[in-house]
Amino acid sequence: MALTIRCSDFNNDCPAQFTAADRDELLRHVELHTREAHQPMEWTPELAEVVKTKIQQN
Ligand SMILES: [Zn+2]
């Protein structure tokens, strides 16, 4: 089982896509990407909750 999420699910015009075996790992990928690619967007607990709702299981 893999979990995937696309940055475009919550940010416009970003092609980034992430896949991980578990949710915590996936969230770390998204957090790092958000900090590096989407400044000044801040990684907040609220944003993490939104991200969790967009995760798809394959
Ligand atoms: Zn992005």
Residues bordering ligand 1, an ion, CB closer than 5 Å: 7, 14, 16, 37
- Centre of ligand 1 to C-alpha 1, Å, is 23
CA distances from 37 to 7, 25, 44 (A): 11, 18, 15
- Centre of ligand 1 to C-alpha 56, Å, is 17
- Centre of ligand 1 to C-alpha 33, Å, is 6
- pLDDT of 11 > 90? The answer is no
Query: What's the one-letter identity of residue 26?
Result: L
Q: What is the pLDDT of residues 26-44, one digit of tens each?
A: 999 999 999 999 999 899 9
